[in-house]
Structure 1
Amino acid sequence: MSRTAARSWTSRVIAQVLAAGLAVAGLASLDRPETSSPLTAEPAAVSTHQNDVTPPPMGWASWNGFLSSIDHNVIKQQADALAFSGMAAAGYKYVNLDDGWWQGQRDANGNIVVDENLWPGGMKAIADYIHGKGLKAGIYTDAGKNGCGYYYPTTRPAAPNTGMEGHYQQDLETFQRWGFDYVKIDWCGGKEEGLDQETTYKQIAAANEAASAVTGRKLVLSFCEWGTGRPWNWATGYGDLWRTSHDLLQPKESPSLTKMYHNFDEALQPAAQHTGYYNDPDMLTVGVNGMTAARNRLHMSLWSIAGAPLLAGNNLATMSTETRDILTNPEVLAVNQDQRGLQGVKVAEDTRDLQVYGKVLAGTGKRAVMLFNRTGSAANITVRWADLGLTPASASVRNAWTRTDAGSFGTGYTTSVPANDAVLLTVSGTEASGSTYEDTTTATTPTFSNVTASTAGTKLVDITYANRGSTARKATIQVNGQYKYVVAFPPTGSATTYRTVSVLAHLAKGANTVKFAAISGSTAPDIDALRVQGIPGADGLALVGSASDRCLDIEKNTYVNSTQAQLWECSGGRNQTFTHTSRGELVVYGSKCLDADANGTKVVIGDCTGGTSQKWTVNSGGTITNNLSGLCLDASGAATANGTRLILWTCNGQSNQKWTPT
């Protein structure tokens, strides 16, 4: 009998015994702490040993500090400063050339020709210089025929033909041969030409693989289409990181608190970020003109709890000691670089704009917490351990910025947070119990049916697997009818050594199907079990139409204000999970409120403002009425199909105006 067959046979016996004892059909659901009695012990193949994943990139990029005015001397100076300032020792490894390095000339064979007055010895010489400092080198291009410097010139004249369209593999091979390690691929040309974001960037990812097969090198891919094509739905596993919003800092602008908050909110796409793939809210503005020390710390707190890439944009050669110390605080960076690779999620907002975010860290019972005050006055904010997926038992608290212990506290912790500021904490407590599901088949990429959740919301899912290869293997994960995401599974050492990687998945209340699938042309890991644990503060509810049996849904996980709500088949996705706050709002994604006012008006999402048009009453008869207009949430035309748009209409008692919160 093969190893896989023997293990699967053993697993089936264990599952049958458990099923008989617990009256569970199909997969064994073990809803108990991990320190159970022998009679209900976890299947042997369920692991609690977490594998480290690639953390978000750290480094420096030229745009925010120099716009397109870069050359060999500027980049050498910044590489020297990165190496000697303590930044590199703190983890900042990439030196990334942004727009402006190339003026768009190609030779008769289509190869890039650069200005050697700007780049003596060519681009390989500057990559070699960066590598000589023990650092990694990054470069810039565009998905279209022309780059952003052509459409939006700054400190150099518009340069045509600076994009890579028509030369995808050729240019990527060139970058690899020059020795670059990372490439940012912008979207100005793609936008102007009307290209499709998903199609184009997946073509570029395939071209990168093909180029690597020729050169033996591979580039980290940074997709920069500003979130316009909703890359959180499709980019995981194709890009290593992808922008989720527009630029944080435009030329001739001062840093904006409003933009910082906006970019942070739109980067919170937790199902897409895991196992070495990252949502990117844009380069840091820490240390640039207009940023105070307090604002710099807030910026770092936001990007750290989000697990965002950290690409400094200030002039490293002239930065102050204060700026350097903020950029290199080891405990703040440890939150960002945590090797579980997950994103923080909002777990509480008891009072408008006084918010709590929690991030699951590597280890057991470990969390990072950000208490975020978005108001103009100092206020107390409380984090509750239960909201984080910890038990209410006493937990120890440490302030990451001051690097001091706050003490041990039962059930939660409260502290004062200054106006428009955040307190970043690490918490060590007791992990709450979860449910485990063992694969009882011979499949390496199984389907887990009846994965049960008592509430809709974001859950921590630890995946037990084996990978005897020498490199990461990939498979897709899909919950119900939601989008598929590529998951990377690092080596475990052997086919019988099991480890876990973690994802954040959005589950519906009740039974869910979690399906893994192999990726064509690649070897899949051997996936054996799941452990599912709640993050109660991220829970919500679905609103199911009585006539349609479909859910109130925001199309394709879009964040765009004024997007009209619709009916869609219920899947448990984050775009179908709403929080009905104590203030009467129906909040989706943690930051967007359902909004409408007059008869026939579209029901849309918008930034939460506290306005009466964003407040709703869920009535005992099943209707949901808008507090401003008194009108009912209505499926237009009494239609029941997927895509039916939602409006306000005079309440009439019909079933298309009745909803079941689930």
Structure 2
Amino acid sequence: MTPWLTRPVVRALVLGLALAGAVAPGAPTAGPAPRPVALEARPAGPRPAPQDDGADGAGAGAGAGRAAAPPPMGWASWNSFASSIDLATVKAQVDAFVAAGLPEAGYRYVNLDDGWWQGARDADGEMTVDPVRWPGGMAAVADYIHGKGLKAGIYTDAGRNGCGYYYPTTRPAAAGTGMEGHELQDALRFQRWGFDFLKVDWCGGDAEHLDPETSYRTVAAAIAGATATTGHPMLLSVCEWGVGRPWNWAAGTAAMWRTGYDIIHWGERPSPGAALASFDRSLHPAAQHTGFVNDPDMLTAGMDGLTDAQNRTQLSLWAIAGAPLLAGNDLTRMTPTTRATLTNPEMIAIDQDPRGLQGVKAAEDTAGLQVYGKVLSGTGRRAVLLLNRTAAAAPVTVRWTDLGLTGAPATVREVWAAADRGTPATGWTADVPAGGSVLLTVTGTEAPAATYQAEEGTRAGGAGRTDCAPCSGGAAAGPLGPGTGLTLTGVGTATAGIALADIAYVNGDPVARTATLRVNGQTPTVVSFPPTGSWSTPGTVSVLLSLAKGGDNTITLAAPDAPGPAPDAVLLRPLPGTAGTALVGAGSARCAELPGNAVADDTRAVPADCTGGQNQTFTATPRGELVVYGNRCLAALGDGRADGTPVVVRDCTGAPGRTWAPHPDGTIRNGLSGLCLNDPGRGADEGTPLDLRSCDGTPGRTWELR
């Protein structure tokens, strides 16, 4: 039997978590902390490859001491060159990449996008390329990039035809540029050419009405099979634009997944509004963790049409989101100011933080004046973005308590100004320009947290709960075997919303083990547990959970197909700024939700069993909005005023059709029509959409705000 973590070791780890705040293995800390783990996450099977080999200590290489592979950093060809790429163009960009000092700042990848291939294959089905555009073939391209100490990326489609066939740009339409039917063959060829990163688009998949999850799992399995043959790992970037809601299934399959459409199309000028919209669509914090990240698209910073301040705001948004930093500007024309923006070390440290989490919206006291907070590694450390979406300069205030800190004084540093701003109590206010932002790091005092620990020997069907700080007891249960799980019941929180969860575990294997995490009846996610060095050395990983109000939440970790880690304690720390409310129908006892965690315009709200998910947690603002996902609002479809008007999700604009008024009689009335939010009731099928109806006092038109 594999040696397992003893209860005294867990006791020491949990005490360190409770006193000092959880830290990623190897992260800096002040006060008691878990033993550092000097091994990185190297996911097994069809998992993403690490960003780099760690030779220089940057990124997530072996010996870098990271809890999660970081979001990839690099450059991609599409935004500036579309399909007009060849070896000379790539070489010029690589040379400029190196000359600008991007590798020293942590940028590693040089990625070829659509247009490198016109779809030709030989008699054996192998891809062949134009020898004029690519003298020496694609291996020569990868060799040139590798010769500069960088990593090489390439592009394909999940369908039979790539995007250049349906949307030809600067070159004629090219059929056959996808990998459908050639998944393993093409993955082997990409790896033998030397490519380290594969972006897989969705134009062909979309035209053929393929299932995104099935298609991309097939691609991931092909990459894993190819790696088993070549020994050359290749990171998978899913680019299906969020149509298949990859935040529900891509963790554990790909390193990154697109959450929306392109920020710009060829020939357009970039706009700050498009970047903001892409950022909004990427906010799926429960899906981003342990080396798996939401991708709001390639950067437009440094392209013609944006000011330096707008460039800094986009980098701030991507950093607070923990997004991949893939520059898209023409590096041969980059200004010194753009270079300084892309390479700002404090911004990059926020983006690449070892804890691997996404930021969340913590406050919006006045419409358009927003505060985002991101939990960083170490004790009491947060990154904060003060964002002004309005047309006038205005003060924006962050409160420490919204970030999960106490109201005690905290030190503040302004990132782009590289200036310390003192140690104010309770919070800090900055004057933020119209359309601008201020990026901060804050170090304060962690608020109290609760620890939940498995009782001795508990596994699936025998769950237990212990509130403890520190915990005590005998030997803990061992690693999760295939088909087994660990369940913690009675997990409590004072309000619905997002909480930080630090999971104490042990993994003595030399590679990461994975487990499926589920909260209540929400969509599960696959969590990666890096090696801890031995079966007696503990570590922690961090995730963000969406919890229901009260003490009836359940957290389950399961290893359905392969041996998992040995998890034990979970330390929970609410993030009060995310607190919200469940809308519970009096007639059905079901909660209003956006099904499948959908975020698209005009997604209809439905009643469903209450799970406490982010898609069921609404924040009521002083402006009468019911906000979900941070920046989406319940609305009457098309500003309808008639009985039967569907209730959908839309951007929050403050328009009357997107506002609501709770009444003492339990009704929730639309601000435009005065009609009541209607739940079809327990007798209707779960998922029957909500609508607006006349307020007649029936149970289906009354709600409990929980």
Hey, what does 2:673 align to over in structure 1?
629
From 585, 598, 605, the counterpart of 1:558: 598
Alignment of 1:537 with 2:589, yes or no, is no
Structure 1: how far apart are the matches of 2:162 and 2:684? 45
Change in Cα spacing, 1:377 to 1:455, as seen in structure 2 (3 Å) is same
Residue by residue over 1:48-82, the C-alpha shift from the partner in whole angstroms, topping out at 9 and shown as x without a partner, is 86853111000000001111111111111111111
Per-residue deviation at 1:484? Answer: 1.0
Aligned to 1:344: 359
Shift of 1:33: 5.2
Measure the CA separation in 2 of the matches of 1:211 and 1:3: 33
Residue of structure 2 equivalent to 1:324: 339
1:333 to 345, 348, 355: 348
CA drift of 1:639 comes to: 3.9
SS at match of 2:333: coil
Q: In structure 2, what residue type is equivalent to 1:459? A: A
RMSD: 2.1
Aligned residue for 1:258, secondary structure, equals helix
State whether residues 477 and 516 of structure 1, in contact with CA within 8 Å, keep that contact through their aligned partners in structure 2.
Answer: yes
Q: 1:567, 1:641 within 8 Å by CA — same for their partners in 2?
A: no
Gaps spanning 5+ residues in structure 1: where? 15-28, 37-44
Q: Is the 8 A contact 2:588 2:681 kept in 1?
A: no
- Asked if 2 retains the 8 angstrom alpha-carbon contact of 1:548 and 1:641, the reply is no
8 Å CA contact 1:439–1:529 kept in 2: the answer is: yes
Which residue does 2:75 correspond to in 1? Answer: 60
Give the drift of 1:519: 4.2
Spell out, residue by residue over 1:620-648, the C-alpha distance to the aligned partner (whole angstroms, 9 max, x if none). Answer: 22211112222111123774441021111
Query: Residue 462 of structure 1: CA displacement?
Result: 0.3
Q: Which residue of 2 aligns with 1:508?
A: 548
Query: Which residue of 253, 256, 265 maps to 1:250?
Result: 265
Judging changes above 3 Å, is the alpha-carbon distance between structure 1 residues 354 and 404 closer, same or farther for their aligned structure 2 residues? same
Distance in 1 between residues matched to 2:160 and 2:432, nearest whole Å:
48
Give 2:93's aligned residue.
Answer: 78
Query: TM-score when scaled to structure 2?
Result: 0.88
Closer, same or farther: CA 405–621 of 1 in aligned 2, 3 Å:
same
Structure 2 unaligned segments of length 5 or more: list them: 22-31, 38-65, 458-476, 481-485
Report the alpha carbon displacement of residue 473 of structure 1 after superposing the two structures with TM.
1.4
Which residue of 2 is the match for residue 127 of structure 1?
Answer: 142
Alignment of 1:304-319 (within 5 A): 304-319=319-334
CA contact (8 A) 1:47 1:464 kept: no
Question: Residues 10-29 of structure 1 correspond to what in structure 2 (within 5 A)?
Answer: none
Structure-to-structure mapping, 1:599-610, within 5 angstroms: 599-610=643-654
Q: What do residues 23-51 of structure 1 show as CA deviations (whole Å, max 9, x unaligned)?
A: xxxxxx99x95389xxxxxxxx9958685
Q: Give per-residue Cα distances to partners, 1:286-334, cap 9 Å, x unaligned.
A: 1111111111111111111111100001111221111111111111111
Q: For residues 677 and 478 of structure 2, what CA distance do their matches in structure 1 show? A: 45
1:182 matched residue in structure 2:
197
1:494-531 Cα shifts (integer Å, max 9, x gaps)? 101101110011011122111111141x3311111100
User: Partner of 2:430 in structure 1?
Assistant: 415
Q: Look up the match of 2:634.
A: 594
The answer as to 2:411 corresponding to 1:399 is no
Give the aligned partner of residue 513 of structure 2: 473
- The 5 Å alignment of 1:63-212 reads 63-212=78-227
Task: Name the residue aligned to 1:375.
Answer: 390
| Equivalent pair of 1:305/1:368 in contact (CA under 8 Å) | yes
Query: 1:165: how far off?
Result: 0.4
Over 3 Å counting, the alpha-carbon distance change for 1:455 and 1:188 in structure 2 is: same
1:618 and 2:633 are equivalent in the alignment: no
Preserved CA contact (<8 Å) 1:358 1:370 = yes
- Whether the aligned pair in 2 keeps the contact of 1:305 and 1:357 (CA below 8 Å) is yes
Instruction: Tell me by how many angstroms 1:257 deviates.
Output: 2.2
DSSP-derived class of the 2:619 partner: strand
Within the alignment, does 1:518 sit opposite 2:559 as a pair? yes
CA distance in 1 between partners of 2:328 and 2:274 (Å): 16
Residue 584 (1) aligns with residue 624 (2) = yes
Alpha-carbon distance between aligned partners in 1 of 2:317 and 2:376, rounded to the nearest angstrom: 16
The alignment covers a number of residue pairs equal to: 637
3-state SS of paired residue (1:204): helix
Instruction: Supply the AA of the counterpart residue of 2:656.
Output: T
Amino acid aligned to 1:334: A
Contact 2:375 2:382 in 1 (8 A): yes
Q: Which AA in structure 1 matches 2:19?
A: E
Q: Distance in 1 between matches of 2:416 and 2:2?
A: 53
- CA gap of 1:460–1:173, structure 2 versus 1, over 3 A, is same
**For the residues of structure 2 that align with 1:132 and 1:84, how far apart are their CA atoms?**
14
Asked if the contact 1:274/1:487 (under 8 Å) is kept, the reply is yes
SS in structure 1 at match of 2:423: strand
Q: Counterpart of 1:34 in 2: which secondary structure?
A: helix
Structure 1 runs of 4+ aligned residues shifted over 6 Å read none
What is the CA–CA distance in structure 2 between the aligned matches of 1:552 and 1:74, rounded to whole Å?
Answer: 52
Which amino acid in the other structure matches residue 479 of structure 2? T
Change (3 A) 1:219 1:35: closer
- For residues 153 and 313 of structure 2, the distance between their equivalents in structure 1, rounded to whole angstroms, comes to 27
Question: SS at the partner of 2:575?
Answer: strand
Distance in 1, Cα, partners of 2:306 & 2:518: 42
Structure with more of its chain in strand, by fraction: 1
CA contact (8 A) 2:35 2:537 kept: no
Alpha-carbon distance in structure 2 between the residues aligned to 1:593 and 1:310:
29
Amino acid across the alignment from 2:83: S
* Aligned residue type for 1:80: D
Q: Distance in 2 between matches of 1:543 and 1:462?
A: 29
